[in-house]
Structure 1
Amino acid sequence: MAAGDIKYVFRCTERIRPSSPTPQNLRSHKLSLLDQLINCLYAPLLSFYNSSSGDHDQLKKSLSRALSYMYPLAGRLKDGKTIDCNDEGADFVLAEVENKMSEVMQYPRMDRLRKLFPCNPYPEVVDSTIPLCAVQVTRFSCGGSAVAICIWHGLVDAPGVYGFLRTWAAINRGQEQEQDYKNAGGLVVDSSTTFVPSDLLLSLTALTDRNHIMVAEKYVAKRFMFRGSTVNAIRDRYTQPEIRPSRVEALAAFLWAAVIRATGEVDQDFKTHTLTMSVDLRKKFNPPFPMYCLGSINQVVGARWERGGDGKESSSPSAVDGGFLLGKVREAIRKIDDNYIKKMHVEGGYLNQLIAISNNLTVDKKHNKGLNISSWCKIPIYEVDFGWGNPRWISTVLVLKDLAIFVDMDDGGVEVWLGLPQGIMSNLEMDKQFLAHLSYSQTVWDYTLHSVMKSRM
């Protein structure tokens, strides 16, 4: 058996329904515009634990109670705007494998990690029959365990995933009465009144074109670890009088600059490079949304580097430094407040902005490149304790197409999962500025993805 291959001893699936029926007045959950804009996929997360109690009946009971509080997760997609909260339930998969957990963690190939999940995070068919929540609990031969979850991404973002896990784990520990989820209103909110849904049909046609063609491209995904001392050194380097960047701001600017330089080594023709980042909006409103409520309550912000745009460091990609880009990153993130969000969502402004960005990157892909960053930092996913202690390691199996995911490390550092075209990734790994701050790297996947380009016909 090759290192990291998953070999099952057994695997069985059971449907878990909420412990109490959803009241009739809550049977229809409206999706917001932000929910609708998420692609048709699950949000997948995998947590490894050194042990488990082995009381799987208790896990099922606690999951059933969690679903009664977070009732849309037990429902089904009704249409493009609504979840039918019909208590159909979530899938619970129990499995045992011959592998040792350390073996899987040592060789975390994403195609192998996917075998520990209850379903395909990217379903081929999306209809009213698929569960919106599925979990798998896998026991390894060494006694360790893994908990994998797939929750419909239109119902959760990273804080929402944590909200579900936190609720389920606390109930399993017998600490239900101590949690603020006793009031279901703290977990399920109606954000559709703030982010008014759209049928999207006319708007999304702007993202496609009959003259578009599909182009295959080789991608590589890697784990990069930046220790706490290294991240602090980057912050110190970028600090200006009275302005000290956050960890995420500093690392985002550092990584973006390195990717621009690596792209320049491959492509001499590109003119602009766009950084997009997802910003959690829960605390940006007045009054704020609950911290870990359901919903994709995040908004994409953008910053732009342009060749020859403003000074020496825009004359050539090879001259770009993160300190130069930091101001662009900070401005993009920090302009998001209650007034900005409300103005942005008047008369479809946010949707129009997304269409413009997508058209810019898609129609003229030769001259416009991009990188997306999703930060899970400060979301305490490493504190999810089912009664077995905290997770030893957490990973995801999202397809990383020009995408970086930031996850906290226990020393204040950041683990970065990054997917880039093969040539750009090769150059990134030869970038001296990048390597000087890197503690560890590991390839987790190589794969072929299809990009949309404008046909010259």
Structure 2
Amino acid sequence: MIEIKSEIVSRQTIKPSTPTPPHLKTFKLSLLDQISPDIHGNMTFFYPSDSTTHSISNDPYFFEKSKLLQDSISKTLSLFYPLGGRLLDAATVDCNDEGAFFVEAKVNIPLSHFLNQPDFILMDHFLPTTDPTTMELSNGAMFLVRFTSFTCGGVAISLSLTHKVADVSALLTLLQCWSSVCRGLSDPITPDLIGEKFLAPRDELSAMSVSVNVAVEKFGQRRFVFSASKIAELKAKVDKEFQNVLQSHPSRVEVVLALLWKCAVATKKKKTGSFGPTALFQAINLRKRLSPLPETAVGNFIWPFMVLAYEEKDLELHELVIQMRKSLNEFNNTKANMFTGEGAPLAIMGAIKERGEFFRNNKEMTVYKCSSWCKFPLYDTDFGWGKPIWHVSVNKLVSNTIALADTRSRDGIEAHLTLDEEEMALFEQNEELLKYATLNPSIYA
């Protein structure tokens, strides 16, 4: 394992370039934001050096870039004005222009040392939220950035955003706007700040966000990469049965996710000695399914649908992929409309209650949660010094999660899993998995 020493160079608050008008000072979140957990999600982008300078101590480019990032955050905050405010309760943002928080840092290694074999434990050196002093000084900021220089002139940009106001699609809108402003474009993408206009929050929930069951047990995060050719092999394995039932072809995400779920359950059985029923939740982007919602709607417009496997035979690869598509079709055809119309709030609260009751009655069920960022153009995030060589999100809160993202070539899939440490040690040796996936290859591979 490589050793990294990091040093924070400066910390500062960044306020919006223009004050928020008085009539916009209070921003009411939607019901879906209201029930979202008040935790920070993160995303880190790594950029190779774009200059011939090799000594960061006198590299003027880092501080030039830092100034550009800070100025562009200030301008971007004026467009995303709730992000410059502070949460008053689970459904209200005080848009008081207290601002975002920006950290400059440096590490004592070249970028290539880290990217040759990325280590999630070392990611703490790049995240703003892992530094207690930063969190104290940031004073409840909803948007934090840490800008880190490597000895080779490469840089990392980590942003941390509260889940109360943004899912990954909203994060993408923020990135597209911010990077456009940073590059000096005059007409950046602007956000649709819909808030309560989509689904008004419920007064009886005003003090409540959904809590996250932070895992007490130790869990590890690992990265597995599926190449385009291996994904094609997986698809070919299930295509015939899939076509017979659904008259279509499985997607890349469906076959990769099915294999990961199957192997995770097999690992659990190996550890406990017996098979137990299991559920997989997949997060769906509602923007594509609800016609009045624009792609640039900022907030939490995601909802999970559930796939169940009660017996071991349900975990045949083709069975899982077929069940995933059937569950998705059912959601699209019958459940997506519960988010519209006068009855929407009650329908949503009813669905949450029903889900809670289901798990109270099925305590033995092992639950996995998946979100996919595939097809989100995160690799196009260019602040003026080129596109990133890698982007990654670190999960420090919850075990049994699967996050999928495109590889830089856009045709492979990178999977990030969190599992109990004992299970992870077994999982990463699973022969069926390793037939299709490579464990943590070099970013340069």
1:303 and 2:307 aligned: yes
Amino acid across the alignment from 1:236:
A
Match in the other structure for 1:325: 320
| Residues 320-364 of structure 1 deviation map (CA, whole Å, 9 limit, x = unaligned) | 322111122112223344863332673533334334434554675
User: Which deviates the most, 430-439 or 131-140?
Assistant: 430-439
Find the counterpart in structure 1 of residue 55 from structure 2: none
- 1:290 aligned onto 2:294: yes
User: 1:48–1:392: 8 Å Cα contact kept in structure 2?
Assistant: yes
Is 1:369 equivalent to 2:385 in the alignment?
A: no
Give TM-score, length-normalised by structure 1: 0.83
For 1:351 and 1:126, how far apart are their aligned partners in 2? 35
Shift, 1:439, TM fit = 2.6
Aligned length: 420
Counterpart of 1:382 in structure 2 is: 379
Give the CA deviation at 1:290: 2.4
CA RMSD of superposed structures (Å): 3.2
SS in structure 2 at match of 1:343: helix
1:176 partner SS: coil
- Look up the match of 1:220: 220
Q: Could you say if the C-alpha distance between residues 215 and 252 of structure 1 is closer, same or farther in structure 2, counting changes exceeding 3 Å?
A: closer
C-alpha spacing 1:137/1:436, structure 2 compared with 1 (3 Å): same
Change (3 A) 1:202 1:7: closer
How far off is 1:292 after superposition? 3.4
1:335 aligns to 2:330 (yes or no): yes
Provide the residue aligned with 2:427 in structure 1: 428
Q: 1:215 to 1:62 in 2, by over 3 A?
A: closer
Given that residues 90 and 209 in structure 2 are in contact (C-alpha distance below 8 angstroms), is that contact kept between their aligned partners in structure 1? no
Cα 1:352–1:202 change in 2 (3 A) is farther
Question: Aligned match of 1:135 in 135, 145, 150?
Answer: 145
Distance 1:292 1:105, change over 3 A: farther
What is the TM-score normalised by the length of structure 2? Answer: 0.85
Q: Give 1:199 shift.
A: 5.1
d(CA) in 1 for partners of 2:184 and 2:206? Answer: 49
Structure 1 unmatched runs, 5+: 182-186, 315-319, 444-457
Match 1:192 to one of 187, 191, 196: 196
Structure 1 residue 425 displacement after superposition: 2.4
In 2, Cα distance between the equivalents of 1:111 and 1:215? 17
8 Å contact kept, 2:220–2:420: yes
CA distance in 2, matches of 1:267, 1:124: 41
**Between Structure 1 and Structure 2, which shows a larger proportion of helix residues?**
2
Rounded to whole Å, the distance in 1 between the matches of 2:25 and 2:286 is 26
Quickly say closer, same or farther: Cα 1:355–1:104, change in 2 above 3 A: farther
Aligned residue type for 2:10: C
Q: Equivalent residue for 1:80?
A: 90
SS of residue paired to 1:180: coil
| Aligned residue in 1 for 2:437 | 438
Identical pairs, percent = 26
Query: Separation in 1 of the partners of 2:79 and 2:344?
Result: 32
Deviates more, 1:397-406 or 1:95-104: 95-104
Secondary structure of the equivalent of 1:386?
Answer: coil
Structure 2 CA distance for partners of 1:201 and 1:30, relative to 1, 3 Å: closer
Q: Contact 2:281–2:306 at 8 Å: present in 1 too?
A: yes
Q: Is the 8 A contact 2:129 2:135 kept in 1?
A: no
Kindly report which structure 2 residues correspond to 1:130-169, keeping only aligned pairs within 5 A, or say none. Answer: 130-169=140-179
Between 335-344 and 405-414, report the one with greater CA deviation. 335-344
Going from structure 1 to structure 2, the CA distance change for 1:85 and 1:376 (only over 3 Å counts) comes to: same
Query: Kindly tell me: are residues 69 and 250 of structure 1, through their superposed partners in 2, closer, same or farther at Cα, counting changes over 3 Å?
Result: same
